[in-house]
Amino acid sequence: MRIGILTGGGDCPGLNAVIRAAVMTAELRFGDEVMGYLDGWKGVLEGAYRRLDVPGTRDILPEGGTVLGTSRTNPFSVEGGGERVAENLRELGVESLVAVGGEDTLGVANRLGGHGIKCVGVPKTIDNDLSGTEVTFGFDTAVQTATDAIDRLRTTAESHHRVIVCEVMGRHVGWIATYAGIAGGAAEILVPEVPFELEEVCERLRRRHAGGQFSSIVVISEGALPAEGPDADSARFATASSAKDQFGHARLGGIGAWLADEVEKRTGFEARVTILGHIQRGGTPSAFDRVLATRFGVAAVEAVHDGAFGMMVALRAGDIVRVPIAEAVATSKMVDLGLYRDVAGVFLG
Ligand code: F6P
C-alpha cells in the first residue's frame, strides 16, 4: 500500500519521532511505501512530496522540528482545494493519509473525509488543547522548557527584588502555564480559561511582598485576559494584531508586557517581562514525548491497515486508543479547573 504522511500547524518536539515510527512500521511490518508531503496540507495541495524510507528516517528520533516541514495552509481556503487534494493523492496512488497535527490540521483531515479521502489523525501540539486524548506529544517538552526558564528567572528576580512576568504559549488554553507554573512555584498563574482581576493580582503581590517575599514570578498564557471591563479593553488594545493565519487565528503576544507594566504602575514593584515564545516549540523532545510520539506513529499505521479512517490515535489511561477525529476537534480541551484551583491555588499569592 502507498501511504502519505504530513505534519501541519505549529511544529513541536516529537514530530520526527512519529514520522520515523510510522515509516518503520509501514515498511518493515506491512511492506508499504511512504510518501512524505512537504509543509503540511500545502504539499498535498501542490503535489510536493518526497519518498520516505527506513534508512532516511532511522536516525531522526531525537531531532526537534519536522523533516517534512510544516505550514498553516488550509486547502479549504482556496477554491476547489478539497478536489485538488483528492486529485493529487489519486495521481500519486496514495490510498490513505496519516495527518499529524492539532485542531486545524485534523479539522481539515476530518472535512476531507467528505471528499472520499481516507485519513488517520495523530494529535500533536505543545498547547495540549486537543480533546479526545489525555495528552498530546510536545506538551511535556514545552513544559520542561518553560519550567527551566522559570527556574532561571527566579534567581534573577530574587536578586533584584522584582516581579518577573513570564509569558508562555497557549492560545485558548492554559495547560503550559498551569503545569510550568506549578512546577516552577509561580506566585501567580493566569490562564485564558479564568479571566483575571488585575487589582486582585496586584493585591496578592502586595500581600506577598509585605510578608517578606521580595520577588515573584507571574506566569501568564499568551491568550489570558483580564475579566471584562476597562482592564480587558486596555489589554486587548495593547495586544491586538491584525495578522491572521488561514484558519482565522490572530497572532498573539504582548499580554505579558502589558501586565508587567500595569503591575509596576499599580504596586510600585519593579517588574520585567520575558516572553518564551518559540523557544517552547524548539529543540529535542523529552523521553516522554519520544515514547508517546513513537507509540502514536506505530498505532497510526496499524489504524490505516485496520481501515479505521476518520479516527485519531489517542492516549487514555496509559493505552493507545482510537477516537473519532470529529470528536477531537469539536471543542478545545480546557485546563482542568480542579487542578488549577485546588492544586495550583494552594501555592499562589
Ligand atoms: O502551535 C500552537 C502555537 O504554539 C500557539 O501556542 C501559538 O499561539 C501559535 O502556535 C504560534 O504560531 P506561529 O508559530 O504560527 O506564530
Specify whether 154 is located in the same domain as 248: yes
- This prediction has a pTM of 0.96
Contacts of 88 (CB under 8 A, 6+ apart): 44, 45, 46, 47
Query: Distance (Å, rounded) from C-alpha 45 to C-alpha 86?
Result: 9
Q: Which of 246, 281, 316 is the last residue of a domain?
A: 281
Region 58-69 average pLDDT: 98
Specify whether 214 is located in the same domain as 306: no
Contacts of 79 (CB under 8 A, 6+ apart): none
Q: Does residue 347 lie in a domain region?
A: no
pLDDT at 342: 85
pLDDT at 276: 98
Q: What is the pLDDT of residues 19-58, one digit of tens each?
A: 999 999 999 999 999 999 999 999 999 999 999 999 999 9
The single-letter DSSP state of residue 134 is: S
Q: CATH no. for residue 324?
A: 3.40.50.450
Q: Which one is predicted more confidently, 344 or 54?
A: 54
Q: What is the pLDDT of residues 195-214, one digit of tens each?
A: 999 999 999 999 999 988 88
Q: Does residue 341 lie in a domain region?
A: no
Q: Which domain holds residue 214?
A: 139-281
Count how many domains the chain has: 2
Specify whether 226 is located in the same domain as 147: yes
Q: Does residue 340 lie in a domain region?
A: no
Q: Does residue 335 lie in a domain region?
A: no
Residue 118 dihedral angles phi and psi, to the nearest 5°: -95, 105
Q: Which of 171, 191, 247 is the pocket-test mutation for ligand 1 (most atoms within 8 Å of CB)?
A: 171
Q: Which atom of ligand 1 is nearest to the CA of 127?
A: 6
Query: Distance (Å, rounded) from C-alpha 318 to C-alpha 130?
Result: 17
Region 4-32 average pLDDT: 98
Contacts of 273 (CB under 8 A, 6+ apart): 164, 165, 166, 167, 256, 257, 259, 260
Q: Does residue 346 lie in a domain region?
A: no
Specify whether 62 is located in the same domain as 183: no
Specify whether 155 is located in the same domain as 187: yes
Residue reference for cell 493565519: 245
Specify whether 184 is located in the same domain as 272: yes
Q: Does residue 213 lie in a domain region?
A: yes
Specify whether 197 is located in the same domain as 265: yes
Specify whether 196 is located in the same domain as 213: yes
Q: Does residue 348 lie in a domain region?
A: no
Q: Which residues pair with 311 in a beta bridge?
A: 120, 324
| pLDDT interval class at 155 (50, 70, 90) | very high
Nearest alpha carbon to residue 153 among 219, 211, 220, 198: 219
Is residue 76 within 8 Å of 108, Cβ to Cβ?
Answer: yes
- Least confident stretch, 40-44, 86-90, 163-167, 247-251: 247-251
Is residue 296 within 8 Å of 321, Cβ to Cβ?
Answer: no
Specify whether 63 is located in the same domain as 95: yes
Specify whether 71 is located in the same domain as 199: no
Specify whether 272 is located in the same domain as 302: no
Specify whether 202 is located in the same domain as 264: yes
Joined together, the cell numbers standing for residue 126 give 505543545
**Which residue is closest in CA terms to ligand 1's atom 13?**
10
Q: CATH no. for residue 273?
A: 3.40.50.460
Q: Which atom of ligand 1 is nearest to the CA of 102?
A: 1
32 is catalytic: no
Residue 68 CA from chain centroid, whole number: 18
| pLDDT interval class at 3 (50, 70, 90) | very high
Q: Which of 281, 310, 344 is the last residue of a domain?
A: 281
pLDDT at 62: 98
**Ligand 1: residues whose CB is within 6 Å?**
9-10, 72, 125-127, 169-171, 222, 251-252, 281
Query: What is the share, in percent, of the chain residues with pLDDT greater than 70?
Result: 100
Between CA 9 and CA 123, with CA 114 as vertex, the angle to 5 degrees is: 30
Q: Does residue 37 lie in a domain region?
A: yes
pLDDT at 51: 98
